[in-house]
């Protein structure tokens, strides 16, 4: 039982709590600040019903983002909600905060704080408590009580991309005390990096393009994407907006044919803007198809409509200086991914309130209703358009007396790609689109100015420079540029722009891409190689409810394919077509066969690598009619019985001129091999055949040997790696090798031949009628015993010049036997591969004797053996001998350390023969590479190629030395991989 005094204390305590709630009701404050009438803020005047449908789906997404992770049994502490500009992130979050205030959402949090990126950017210096209580009616709120339990707090940082901060503060400078005053940028950085209130929860929203800037600040963030309208929802919404069925279907098809426009429509209010404008165009008698042909065309019509030059119009036209200032503000914002014009931005670009009023009236800009002196473009695409216009209006960069800003550099813009720089893509596309004469004329008439053509010539110069770039990113960049070049719709420019490109890689997985590539490739007259991933099932991607589109789709798509592949006979320079990972159907195969068989088709190489022939539509009949195709590659393609049958029929044609046939990893079996062998009995052109990585077994090889024994067989090179051969197959093969007249190259890698199989092959090598010049026995599971057999064979062989024994357990004793033979004056071997042969430094003495005494040997690969510094010391002494003729030396992963540096320096300084060397995967430190560079930079250094690890080449401290080498010794190439040569895996590069 409580005493009377205790009961009185309890009552007083309850009264105090009630009193506090009345004085400070945080949830009520939230409602007053965030209450929104959803009907008024629905999608630009659209019905609340549609808005509720779209937000209901997104709200469901938001409800579960703090759910417990099944794997970690914890809720994510930091969540990033990302999506395109205008997709509804802010609206969704404000509604979520209201739902929390009403007790319907996130009730695991006692307090939810909403921080606007736009508002925060205008704050100067505060403490964190002041920042989060800015909108409270009194400064006497229980802030200390609230922040003392951070694990129950959720901080929502909305629009990270609108923060005007650099976030370059070092970790030690950040703040942990929420009562201390700091620049607001420090406070936000401390919150994001979990320095301040680390137990609290974070929900951050950002545009997709700003993701890279945000990630380094966060600890293990959970990502949630706000997708916007799906493809089918977009179509439904466009129909809903256009209503008039007589032309709405055509408008839908026109929008869908422009991938960029259709993608923009996944943001509801952008979709409505486009549809509203199209309706106005139709009412004025405009052509929807022409307006939608390119995104630049549509937005040029749209921008010009905002500045009508008609009597009675209240809109005032900006002069050229003012327009240039706005464009410069736009372009800088796009480059830096900052899309709000704050007061400091306006001052920097000399834009006054009076200037801005002109653009506000024209609906180009909009003023923030909550933040004073904050302006944004009405749509991101409007900003991107004016940013592109900057390059047409800017003053001549060459006349400037100060360095160019990054955003002024057109070459940097063209170097960007959609993967690494997605924020620049649409602006770049608009820039090319603005080269179109009609677009220029529209702008000149609208704004009463003259636009220079200088940027046109500048772009052509940049394109020529980019074509010379052979980096892995170059082809990704070319794909982006094809989309941009198409945007010009200017045949003269397109022909000039594409003159520089000899190799193009593209993937056609949408109808709009098919249209773009078919248009561009026809103007690429210097094109020699095309790698095209074609998807014949494009029509399946169309919406089945779009009846008119479906009726025309098949005919239209076939026409586009015909247009695309017509380049095979219209472009005389085109020599190679690679259809890697394509999905081909009968109609596409028919088009290809017609083009391959065309008398003006000059193709030499046709590649169907990893191709799916839908419904077994194999057709190689073009081989009978094409006199130029000599190379057919079907690697990684499952041919099946029908495919092999069709191929065999083609090989029998008298008109077949095929010289190289690659059937690696085609799932061939013994029966397939037997059928192929029968076809080869009558073929008189094939000199190279690769059947590696197929289950041929000894029986399949037996049928091939019958072909080899035919005196009319033209085969010179045969690759049978990983074909299931054993010593039994070696016996049949050995017999055939003594009867064939032409076979010079044989690859038997990755077959379990063992010592017995090697013994049989060795007998063949001793035979005077053996014509082999190259023999690859990599990973054939033999030992020093097999090495002894080969040593004996080499004493009597006069033809063999290349021998690959890599990844067999020869050990030092096995190599010792080989070296005794290699020192003999009658040994003709020129290339020896001993990678991964379990060698140590003890073998280096025998190898050194070979280097000094064998004048024929010029290529030696000792990679993946533990030679250590001691072994290299022995080799280097021999390599410096004037009798040594080694030009290519492989030392990858040989256990070398900085201790071998002096030997390498002496070798590079005094050696006169070695011009290529592989030093990858060795523990060479900074000092060792720096000292190597001192020798390599000398113009007297004979080295032409050096392979070093990528991690070393990209270290900042080492880069400057490599640049110095490149400047002073330009003939030397240093890369993190070896060049593809016929040495080693010749069957892979033929």
448-497, pLDDT tens digit by residue? Answer: 999 988 999 999 998 888 877 766 667 778 888 999 999 999 999 999 99
Q: Is the pLDDT of residue 302 over 80?
A: yes
pLDDT value of residue 988 = 58
Q: Residue 343 region, left (φ>0) first, then alpha (ψ -120 to 50), else beta?
A: alpha
pLDDT value of residue 845 = 96
DSSP 894: S
Of residues 690, 517, 530, 684, the one with CA closest to residue 604: 530
pTM of the model: 0.83
CB neighbour list of residue 559: distance below 8 Å, 6 or more residues apart: none
Residue 15 confidence class, pLDDT cut points 50, 70, 90: very low
- Spatial contact of 871 and 845, defined as CB atoms under 8 Å apart: no
Mean of pLDDT values over 330-355: 89
Tell me, rounded to whole angstroms, the distance of Cα 233 from its chain centroid: 29
Quote the strand ranges of 44-187, DSSP E. Answer: 78-83, 111-116, 125-126, 153-158, 182-183
Give the number of residues written for the chain. Answer: 990
CB atoms within 10 A of CB 304: 16
Of residues 288, 298, 303, 302, the one with CA closest to residue 244: 288
Q: Is the pLDDT of residue 245 over 90?
A: no
pLDDT value of residue 317 = 85
Compute the half-sphere exposure of residue 530: CA atoms within 13 Å on the CB side of its CA: 28
506-559, pLDDT tens digit by residue? Answer: 999 888 899 999 999 999 999 999 999 999 887 665 554 444 555 677 788 899
Q: Is the pLDDT of residue 296 over 90?
A: yes
pLDDT value of residue 549 = 53
Q: Which residue has the higher pLDDT, 553 or 776?
A: 776
pLDDT value of residue 545 = 47
- In the beta sheet, which residues pair with residue 803? 775, 832
Q: Is the pLDDT of residue 145 over 90?
A: no
pLDDT value of residue 479 = 86
Mean of pLDDT values over 569-574: 93
The pair of structure tokens assigned to 504 is 């193009």
Q: Is the pLDDT of residue 70 over 90?
A: no
């Amino acid at each position: 039982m409580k005493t009377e005094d205790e009961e009185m204390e309890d009552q007083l305590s309850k009264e105090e709590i009630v009193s506090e709630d009345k004085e400070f009701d945080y949830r009520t404050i939230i409602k007053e600040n965030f209450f929104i009438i959803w009907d008024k803020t629905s999608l630009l005047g659209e019905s609340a019903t549609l808005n509720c449908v779209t937000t209901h789906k997104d709200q469901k997404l938001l409800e579960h983002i703090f759910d417990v992770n099944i794997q970690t049994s914890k809720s994510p502490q930091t969540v990033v909600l990302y999506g395109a500009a205008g997709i509804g992130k802010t609206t969704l979050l404000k509604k979520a905060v209201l739902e929390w205030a009403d007790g319907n959402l996130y009730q695991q949090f006692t307090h939810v704080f909403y921080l606007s990126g736009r508002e925060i950017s205008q704050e100067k210096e505060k403490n964190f408590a002041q920042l989060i209580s800015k909108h409270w009616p009194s400064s006497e709120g229980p802030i200390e009580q609230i922040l003392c339990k951070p694990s129950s707090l959720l901080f929502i940082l909305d629009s990270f991309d609108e923060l005007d901060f650099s976030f370059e503060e070092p970790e030690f400078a950040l703040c942990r005390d929420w009562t201390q005053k700091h620049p607001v940028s420090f406070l936000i950085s401390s919150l994001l990096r979990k320095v301040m209130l680390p137990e609290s929860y974070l929900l951050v929203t950002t545009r997709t393009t700003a993701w890279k800037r945000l990630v380094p600040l966060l600890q293990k963030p959970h990502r949630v994407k706000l997708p916007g309208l799906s493809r089918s929802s977009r179509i439904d919404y466009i129909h809903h907006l256009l209503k008039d069925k007589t032309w709405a279907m055509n408008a839908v098809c026109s929008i869908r044919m422009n991938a960029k426009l259709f993608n923009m429509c996944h943001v509801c209010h952008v979709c409505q803007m486009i549809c509203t404008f199209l309706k106005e165009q139709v009412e004025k008698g405009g052509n929807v198809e022409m307006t939608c042909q390119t995104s630049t065309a549509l937005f040029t019509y749209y921008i010009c409509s905002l500045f009508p030059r008609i009597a009675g119009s209240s809109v005032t036209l900006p002069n050229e200086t003012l327009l240039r200032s706005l464009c410069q503000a736009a372009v800088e914002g796009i480059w830096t991914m900052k899309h709000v014009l704050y007061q400091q931005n306006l001052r920097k670009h000399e834009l006054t309130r009076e200037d801005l009023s002109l653009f506000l009236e024209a609906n180009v800009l909009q003023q923030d209703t909550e933040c004073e002196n904050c302006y944004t473009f009405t749509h991101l695409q409007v900003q991107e358009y004016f940013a592109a216009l900057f390059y047409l209006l800017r003053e001549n960069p060459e006349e400037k007396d100060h360095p160019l800003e990054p955003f002024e550099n057109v070459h940097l813009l063209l170097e960007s790609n959609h993967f690494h720089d997605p924020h620049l893509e649409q602006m770049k596309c608009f820039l090319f689109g603005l080269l179109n004469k009609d677009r220029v004329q529209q702008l000149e008439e609208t704004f009463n100015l003259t636009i220079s053509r200088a940027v046109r010539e500048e772009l052509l110069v940049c394109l020529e420079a980019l074509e010379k770039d052979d980096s892995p990113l170059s082809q990704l960049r070319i794909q982006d540029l094809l989309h941009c070049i198409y945007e010009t719709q200017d045949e003269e420019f397109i022909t000039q722009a594409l003159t520089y490109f000899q190799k193009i890689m593209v993937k056609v997985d949408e109808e709009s891409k098919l249209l773009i590539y078919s248009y561009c490739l026809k103007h690429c007259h210097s094109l020699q190689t095309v790698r095209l991933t074609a998807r014949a099932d494009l029509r399946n991607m169309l919406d089945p409810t779009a009846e008119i589109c479906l009726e025309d789709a098949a005919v239209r798509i076939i026409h586009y394919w015909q247009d695309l592949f017509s380049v095979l006979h219209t472009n005389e320079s085109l020599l190679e077509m690679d259809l890697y990972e394509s999905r081909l159907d009968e109609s596409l195969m028919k088009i290809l066969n017609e083009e391959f068989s065309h008398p003006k088709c000059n193709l030499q190489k046709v590649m169907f690598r990893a191709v799916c022939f839908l419904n077994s539509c194999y057709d190689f009949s073009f081989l009978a009619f094409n006199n130029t195709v000599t190379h057919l590659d079907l690697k990684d393609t499952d041919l099946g019985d029908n495919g092999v049958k069709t191929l065999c029929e083609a090989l029998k044609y008298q008109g077949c001129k095929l010289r190289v046939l690659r059937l690696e990893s085609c799932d061939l079996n013994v029966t397939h091999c037997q059928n192929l062998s029968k076809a080869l009995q009558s073929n008189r052109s094939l000199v190279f055949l690769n059947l590696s990585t197929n289950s041929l077994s000894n029986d399949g090889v037996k049928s091939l040997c019958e072909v080899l024994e035919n005196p009319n067989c033209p085969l010179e090179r045969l690759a049978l790696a990983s074909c299931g051969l054993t010593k039994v197959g070696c016996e049949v093969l050995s017999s055939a090798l003594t009867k064939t007249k032409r076979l010079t190259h044989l690859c038997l890698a990755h077959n379990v031949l063992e010592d017995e199989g090697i013994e049989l092959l060795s007998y063949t090598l001793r035979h005077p009628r053996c014509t082999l010049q190259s023999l690859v026995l990599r990973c054939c599971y033999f030992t020093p015993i097999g090495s002894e057999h080969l040593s004996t064979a080499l004493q009597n062989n006069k033809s063999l010049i290349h021998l690959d024994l890599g990844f067999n357990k020869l050990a030092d004793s096995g190599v010792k036997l080989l070296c005794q033979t290699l020192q003999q004056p009658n040994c003709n071997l020129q290339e020896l591969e001993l990678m991964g042969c379990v060698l140590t430094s003890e073998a280096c003495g025998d190898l050194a004797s070979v280097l000094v005494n064998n004048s024929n040997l010029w290529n030696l690969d000792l990679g993946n053996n533990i030679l250590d510094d001691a072994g290299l010391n022995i080799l280097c002494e021999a390599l410096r001998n004037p009798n040594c003729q080694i030009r290519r030396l492989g030392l990858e992963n040989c256990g070398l350390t900085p201790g071998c540096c002096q030997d390498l320096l002496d070798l590079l300084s005094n050696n006169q023969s070695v011009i290529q060397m592989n030093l990858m995967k060795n523990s060479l430190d900074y000092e060792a590479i720096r000292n190597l560079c001192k020798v390599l930079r000398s113009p007297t250094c004979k080295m032409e190629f050096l392979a070093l690890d990528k991690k070393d080449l990209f270290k900042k401290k080492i880069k400057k030395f490599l640049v110095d080498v490149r400047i002073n010794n330009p003939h030397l190439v240093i890369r993190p991989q070896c060049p593809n040569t016929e040495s080693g895996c010749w069957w892979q590069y033929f």
